[in-house]
Amino acid sequence: MAVHVVGNADVDLTFVLDRFPAPGETLNARHGFVGLGGKGLNQAVAAARTGASTVFWTAVGRDADGDLIAAQLDVEGIGTARLARLDLPTDRSAILVDPAGENLIASMVECARRFDPAGAGLLDDAVGSGDIVVLQGNLTLGATTGTMRAARAAGARVLFNPSPLGAEGVPPLDLVDILVLNRVEARVITGESDPDRALAALMARGAGRVLLTLGADGAVVADDAGQRVIAAVPVEATDTTGAGDVFAGVLAGLIAMGWPLDRAAAGANRAAAVSVTRPGALASCPSRAEMAALLVEG
């Protein structure tokens, strides 16, 4: 079974600040750095580093930034067979990080918004029964929904991480086998601030299984058998950028390799805990060797 991640890849410009600026205020950063990211790329690399066979479907520009992303995909062993090159600038994100490790992110996603492999029929002969198709919120709603339907038609399972949330809303949740989201996303989608009520509302809307990540409070798994708590891993966070992507990517990789959901969620939680102790998005993801050591613990 393979993991097919369909999403965006970008170049991140990160600023580490003493605090977030107020509206209209300019602050000088403690320091900053440029790295690779994008929710799709982060999740694809995290899945690949578990050892799962991983395919990444994305679009980048015909520019130096796109070349950097292509080179990284080769380094990761994912390859560029499903990398589209468009006559647009490669997507970019600006990331602000405060001393507690929290972040604010704004992204330019022109390539992602033009990308629709399912609409072009490219997934039809590539996705197989039992595969996992992983999606986020950077593609258009039509492209996301179409990809989910194509995955289901092929007998694949759909893992959806509805971030970032856009004005278009979310696709029908009855197309989602595994929904991975944080408490803010759950509240926005359901209108419920209480996690238990939010989980019940998401299940009522058709999501097969829901994993609600709670940061320092761990995570909750909900399905027809009820709710189970995944205990937090105590760490000192320095940058939470990309932690949710590490969680989702590792979860997909482990499930593709046959791990049961709760055990896979615990392994994903350990990997995400490592990522928050490091700066950057893709740069914070545990290496293959670190991932192997983390997963032996499970």
Which residue type is seen at 22?
A
- Per residue of the chain (298 residues), give pLDDT as tens: 999 999 999 999 999 999 999 999 999 999 898 999 999 999 999 999 999 999 999 999 999 999 999 999 999 999 999 999 999 999 999 989 999 888 898 989 999 999 999 999 999 999 999 999 999 999 999 999 999 999 999 999 999 999 999 888 999 999 999 999 999 999 999 999 999 999 999 999 999 999 999 988 889 999 999 999 998 888 888 888 889 999 999 999 999 999 999 999 999 999 999 999 998 889 899 999 999 998 875 5
Residue 155 located in a structural domain? yes
Residue 26 located in a structural domain? no
Residue 246 located in a structural domain? yes
Strand 2-6 and strand 53-61: pairing?
parallel
Residue 95 located in a structural domain? no
SS (H, E, C) 19-57: CCCCCCCCCCCCEEEEEEECHHHHHHHHHHHCCCEEEEE
Q: Is 114 exposed, middle or buried (0-12, 13-18, 19+ CB in 10 A)?
A: middle
User: Number of structural domains, the chain?
Assistant: 1
Q: Domain of 141: which CATH number?
A: 3.40.1190.20
* Bridge partners for 222 per DSSP: 210, 227
Residue 202 located in a structural domain? yes
Residue 104 located in a structural domain? no
Residue 276 located in a structural domain? yes
For 160, the token pair is 């959806």
Helices (H), the chain: 39-49, 64-75, 110-114, 141-153, 183-190, 195-204, 243-256, 261-275, 288-296
Identify the domain containing residue 213 by its residue range: 2-9+38-90+110-296
Residue 97 located in a structural domain? no
